[in-house]
Amino acid sequence: MKLFTNHSSKTTLQHIAAEQAAAGIVIVALPIESSPMPTYTRILFANDAFARITDSSVAAVFNTNLLDFIDEPYNSELATALQSGVQHLLYVRLTSHSGTQMYAHVHCTPLQGIETINATEHHIICTFTDVTDLMQTNESLSAEIDSLEDNMHRRTNELQEFIDEIRNELRQRGILERELQRAEKRYRSLAENFPNGAVIMLDKRRQCLLVEGTQAERIPLHVTDESRTLAEPLASAAEPAISQAFEGKHCSFETMLSGEPYLLHAVPLTAERQFIDAVMLVCQNITDFKTRQHLEKEQEMTELKYRFVTIASHELRTPLAGMMLASGILRRYWETTSDEEKWEALQDIMAGLDRMSNLLDNILVVGKSDSGKLPFEPQEIDLIHFCRDLVREHEKSLGQTHTTIAEYNTDSLAFLGDPKLLRLIFGNLLSNAYKYSPEATTVHFFLHCTPQNVTITVQDAGIGIPAEDIPHLFDSFHRGKNVGEIQGTGLGLAIVERAVKMHGGAIAVESTVNVGTTFRVVLPLSLSNT
C-alpha cells in the first residue's frame, strides 16, 4: 500500500510504529469537494490493532468505508468531525463482524503539508482507543448511582414515614393514655360496684392484686404484711379453674361462700406480649337465681303433673267407658245376646285393656328413664330381620289403609342393641306415621348401613308438625297444636328419644305442615354404652 511520495527513514519508522501501536489507527481519505456530511470515507491505511477491533484483516478493511464500522448515530458524528478539517475528540460505538460491540475514544487529526498521490483528497488520521471497560464501568457506576439515589429517596421517604408514624404514635399515645386513665377509672368503679358479687385478680403466685365488689367482704382471704391470698376452702375449690385459666381456658364452677351459692368464672388476662400474666375471678351470688330456678322447676313439675293428670285421665276414661258399656251389655243381656255380639263386646273390652296397659307401660318407661332405672340389656340381633318383622307387624295392625315401602341397603346386619328399646323406637315412629297420615298415603321406612353406623328413616305424607312445636317435640306429654281429635298421650316421642340416647345414637326431625314429616335415627354400630 503506497500512500506517501516521501519515503524517508523517519517516515518508515513512523509507519512501523503506527502498524505496531496498541491503539487502532486508520488513515482515511475524503474528497476535498464534499457535502457537509460525507457518506463515504475511504480507508487508506489500517494497523493490526484496528483489524483486531473489527474482527477483520488489514487487507480486508483497505479501501472500505470507515463509517460502515461505526454504529448509528455515532457514524454521523464521526463524518461531521472528519469533514470539519480540524482536530476532534469523540466517542463512538463499533460493531465487529462477529457482532461484538465496543466503545472507542476517537482522536481525529488532519494530515497537512504532506505530498499525497491524489491531490483531490484530504486525509485524516484516526486513532481508536478502546474504552469499553471504562464505559461499562461508567455505566455500572451510573446504574449504581441511580440505585443509590433511588435507595436514598426510598430511605428518605421511609424515614419521613417513620417520623410521621412517631408523631402520630405520640399523638395516639397521648390520646390512649387519656383513654387508659378514663378506662382505669371506669374499671375500678365497675370492680368496686360489681353488683351482687366480687372481682378478684390473681398473679401466677396466686397473690391477690385486686379484690373489689359489693360483696368483696364475703371472699375469704389470708392476709399478711406482704401479701393477700385466697383462704380455704375457696383456694382449693378455685385452684383447678385458676390453673386452666393460666393455660388460656375459660372455666366456670359453683361454690359456697358464707353459706350462699356463688358462680365463679376464671378468665385469663393477656399482656401485650400475648403472655397470660394474671387471672380474673368473677364471683356472682346466685342465691336469687337458684331460688328462681327452684320455683321454675316446681312450676314446670306442676304443669307436667297437670298435663299428666289431664291426658292420663282422658286416655284412661275413654277405654274405661267402652269397657264398662260392653260389660254392662253382657251382664244385662247375656241370655239374649248372640255369640257374635258377645265376642265383639269381649274384643272391645280387650282393646280397652290393651290401651290402658300401653299407657301405663309408657308412663313407667318415662319414669324409669328419667330416674336412670330403665334397664338397658343389649344383645346381638339381625337388625334387618328385626325391622322387616316389625314393619310387617305394623302393616297388619295399623297400616292396612296405607301403602308401606321398606328399603334396606343390605340383606343382613349384626347389631348389638336392646330389642325392647328398639321396638319402642321403630314401633312408635311407624305408629305415628300411620296415625298422623291420611288414608291412601305412603309411609316410607329406609335402613341404610355404613361401616360406622346405621341410619333408619321413617317418612310420612301426613299433617306435619308446626315449627313452634318442634323444640318441645320430645318433652313428656307434649302434643302438637294441630293433632285435633287424634288420640295420643304425648309420650311416644319422649320414649323414642330416651331409647335412642341409651343406644348412643341421635334423632332428628324435618317437617312441613300439611306436607309430611321425616324422622331420622342414627345408631352407632359399636356401642359405647353397655
Query: pLDDT tens digit string along 315-337?
Result: 555 666 666 666 776 667 676 76
> Quick one: DSSP state of residue 391?
H
**What's domain 290-370's architecture?**
Orthogonal Bundle (1.10)
Q: What are phi and psi of 199, to 5 degrees?
A: -120, 130
464 vs 223, residue with greater confidence: 464
pLDDT at 75: 84
- Lowest average pLDDT, out of 1-5, 65-69, 505-509, goes to 1-5
For residue 384, what is the enclosing H or E element? helix 383-397
The grid cell for 150 is 433511588
Q: How far, in Å, CA of 403 to CA of 434, rounded? A: 10
pLDDT band at 456 (very low <50, low <70, confident <90, very high): very high
Q: What is the pLDDT of residues 96-109, one digit of tens each?
A: 878 888 888 899 99
Q: How far, in Å, CA of 208 to CA of 200, rounded? A: 7
- 193-285 belongs to which homologous superfamily? PAS domain (3.30.450.20)
Q: How far, in Å, CA of 164 to CA of 170, rounded? A: 10
Q: What is the pLDDT of residues 160-187, one digit of tens each?
A: 787 778 878 777 776 666 665 665 555 5
The grid cell for 130 is 478502546
pLDDT at 266: 87
Global confidence as pTM = 0.41
The grid cell for 409 is 341397603
> Quick one: DSSP state of residue 217?
G
Burial class (CB in 10 A: 0-12, 13-18, 19+), 495: buried
Share of the chain above pLDDT 70, in %: 74
SS3 sequence of 332-357: HCCCCCCHHHHHHHHHHHHHHHHHHH
- Lowest average pLDDT, out of 18-27, 289-298, 307-316, 401-410, goes to 307-316
214 vs 329, residue with greater confidence: 214
Mean pLDDT confidence for 495-503: 89
pLDDT at 2: 43
Give domain limits for the chain: 9-130, 193-285, 290-370, 379-524
Q: What is the pLDDT of residues 1-34, one digit of tens each?
A: 444 434 444 455 656 666 667 788 999 988 876 5
Mean pLDDT confidence for 77-98: 85
390, pLDDT greater than 60: yes
Is CATH 3.30.565.10 the right assignment for the domain spanning 379-524?
A: yes
pLDDT at 41: 87
Q: Which of the listed ranges 393-397, 489-493, 524-528 does the model predict with the highest average pLDDT?
A: 393-397
CB-based contacts of 300, cutoff 8 Å, min separation 6: none
CATH number of 9-130: 3.30.450.20
Burial class (CB in 10 A: 0-12, 13-18, 19+), 273: exposed
Q: How far, in Å, CA of 318 to CA of 311, rounded? A: 11
pLDDT at 190: 57
pLDDT at 320: 61
pLDDT at 8: 45
pLDDT at 282: 86
528, pLDDT greater than 50: no
Strands (E), 68-174: 88-95, 101-111, 121-130
Mean pLDDT confidence for 461-468: 91
Q: What are phi and psi of 379, to 5 degrees?
A: -150, 160
Q: What is the pLDDT of residues 435-446, one digit of tens each?
A: 899 988 999 999
